[in-house]
Amino acid sequence: SDYSAGMAFLGKSGYMTLASHSDEDEVINADRSEIETTAETETGSSDEPVTTPPYQAEIRKNSKFPYVNFRPHSSSASPRNKPHVFIIVVESFNARFVEAQTQNGKSYTPFFDALISRGTYFENFFSNSIQTSRSQFSILCGVPPSYKAKIFTHHTSLNLNCLPKILGQEGYTNLFFKAYRSLEFDNTDAFTREIGFDHRHSMDAEFIKKEDKPFIWGWGLQDNIFYQKYFSYLDELNEQQPDQLFFSMLTTVTNHMMFDKIPRKQRYLYKSPRNVKENYANSIYLSDRYLREFFKQLQSRSYLSNSIVIITGDNSYPVGEHGYISNEASYYNEFFKTPLLIVYTEDKEAHRIEKAYSHVDIAPALLEILDIETKHHFIGSSVLTGIKTDDLDTTQAEDSHSIYISQPHSGTFLGTIKYPYKYVQQEHSGREFLYNIESDPEERTNLIKVQTLEKVIQKLQQANKFHYFNQSVIEENRIWPGNDQPIDPGATGQSDIVLLE
């Protein structure tokens, strides 16, 4: 069966539970009703102009193109044979459902849970924004997305040097596959072509046959059939030119809102779901079940025996944790916290990383894994550093690492996470929120008025100004030089951006 084939990839797998955390020693209760009302009533569009507070930016290394950076070779990290690379972006993957169970003791994501024992799992991982195209930009280009209009649709002339272009120069053939029926949504085809994908396909008439109709429901083709069609296409490319290296991004669609179109015979957890959470549970369980098909197909192909599989969500999705069931409504972790798991087909030591990371940290990690020497504009910190520093004190390890999150709707929420603290400001009202998401993972207690945290708050307020700087870099097309603008040869180290009052 598909299940046994998928599990065969795992070998012997075990389950691990996360450690519990103590309560915050000093807290102050926020006015919950006032906070919730604000999030529901402030409905400013992501395209509306927002007044940027005054700030100054001191940019070291390269002031015109501040993100330009250089990664040299590292002989100790260089793989003997470069692997194929797969990034699977699971639609609306809420991290709360990983290693969790229903009231009847059934796991929501049993296959993914078992995969954790075979790879490197990141317990505190975040999307930088909501919506698929915003996350695709962060993952592939290593820069937080615009918190206003989408880059895919409104910044089509942006100069970029993203993963597909870099990997293409290293001999990789790049594929972008989407389970949705059209690549025109959000201008995806044009954008992915521009950044270097050689092959770009959705599940349109070229792929969908008459016999596939029963497997199309909700927003598109169910994931297991999607994976089968992708691998068939890959086989054709490999037959035409054996020994190619493949880099692929696969974007799934089964687990798309509102999660209530699942055929009754495939509702494995709740036959008659009563609410959004139960609909979501059925849906994420099904996505997990279909994920086995990907590994079954991967395992059956000898030419893919050396591969890396990166699994994450495009974003999370709220299912009522704070009363919200729309991912455009608010700023809580259930909007952003999504899994990240890196699995190698070759035996590697498994790791669980507590250090916090986000989508922009994936691209620099791939440069490190593949030991690619190149100039780039990735602002993140390689997630592999978590393996090296996870035994350090959290506050020390995270001191210089910020995670930037943005909710472009409902009044525009801009946030910065310096684990374990999460700071958010709502642009249209000026309201501020601070949570210790380690001791208060449910984000029930706003700490913004706790006097003993004044220095923490000031540091996060300062870091949060990066959102405005990043927005200006995007709007002024200063992420990467154009063809007529040579890269400053002095830009040989990590761009150091310091925002001043």
**pLDDT at 51 > cutoff 50:** no
Q: Has residue 144 got a pLDDT over 80? A: yes
CA distance 134 to 320: 23
Structure token digits, residue 105: 């003791």
What's residue 345's pLDDT?
92
Model pLDDT, residue 415: 99
pLDDT in tens, 440-474: 999 999 999 999 999 999 999 999 999 999 999 99
Residue 456's SS3 state is helix
Tens digit of each residue's pLDDT (9 = 90 or more) over 405-419 = 999 999 999 999 999
Q: Among the listed ranges 72-81, 152-161, 282-291, which one has the minimum average pLDDT value?
A: 72-81
List C-alpha distances in Å: 451 to 26, 59, 218: 10, 32, 49
Looking at every residue in the chain, the average pLDDT score rounds to 86
Q: What integer is the mean pLDDT of 374-389?
A: 89
Distances (CA, A) of 487 to 372, 375, 380, 462: 18, 9, 20, 29
Residues with Cβ within 8 Å of 84's Cβ and at least 6 positions away in sequence, in order, are 245, 246, 247, 248, 304, 306, 307, 308
- Contact call for residues 359 and 312 (beta carbons, < 8 A): yes
pLDDT above 50 for 161: yes
Tokens of 219: 């927003």
How far apart CA 46 and CA 131 sit, in angstroms, is 12
Q: Which domains does the chain have, with CATH numbers?
A: 32-66+402-500 (no CATH), 71-389 (3.40.720.10)
Q: What angle do CA 24, 405, 475 make, to 5 degrees?
A: 150
Q: Is 351 helix (H, G, I), strand (E, B) or coil?
A: strand
Q: For residue range 321-345, list pLDDT tens digits in order.
A: 999 999 999 999 999 999 999 999 9
pLDDT at 72 over 60: yes
User: Is it the case that residue 200 has pLDDT exceeding 50?
Assistant: yes
Does the pLDDT of residue 14 top 50, yes or no?
A: no
Q: Is the pLDDT of residue 28 over 50?
A: no
At 332 the three-state DSSP class reads coil
DSSP assignment string, 27-48: -----HHHHHHHHHH----TTS
Distance of alpha carbon 190 from alpha carbon 171, whole angstroms: 22
Q: Is the pLDDT of residue 489 over 60?
A: no
Residue 150 pLDDT > 50: yes
pLDDT at 27 over 60: no
Q: Is the pLDDT confidence value at 12 over 70? A: no
Total Cβ atoms within 10 A of residue 214: 9
The amino acid present at 287, given as its one-letter code, is S
Closest CA to 469 of 144, 19, 237: 144
pLDDT of residue 115: 98
DSSP state of 180: B
Tell me, what's the pLDDT at 420? Answer: 97
pLDDT at 33: 37
pLDDT at 401 over 90: no
Rg (CA), the chain: 22
Cα–Cα–Cα angle for 4, 286, 197, rounded to 5 degrees: 95
pLDDT on residue 294: 99
Asked if residues 405 and 128 have their Cβ atoms less than 8 Å apart, the reply is yes
120-140 mean pLDDT: 98
pLDDT in tens, 280-322: 999 999 999 999 999 999 999 999 999 999 999 999 999 999 9
E strand map for 102-152: 119-122, 125-126
The residue behind tokens 């197909």 is 297
pLDDT digits (tens, 9 = 90+) for 237-269: 999 999 999 999 999 999 999 999 999 999 999
Top-confidence residue, 8 or 438: 438
On whether the CB atoms of residues 222 and 288 are closer than 8 A, the answer is no
Q: How many residues does the chain have?
A: 501
42 has pLDDT over 80: no
In the predicted model, is pLDDT for residue 57 greater than 50? no
pLDDT at residue 276, rounded to an integer: 98
Residue type, 80: R
Amino acid at 487: I
pLDDT at 1 over 70: no
- Token pair for residue 156? 């089509």
**What's the pLDDT at 370?**
96
Q: Please choose, from the candidates 203, 197, 199, the residue with its C-alpha nearest in 3D space to the C-alpha of residue 183.
A: 203
Least confident of 21-35, 57-71, 184-198, 266-280: 21-35
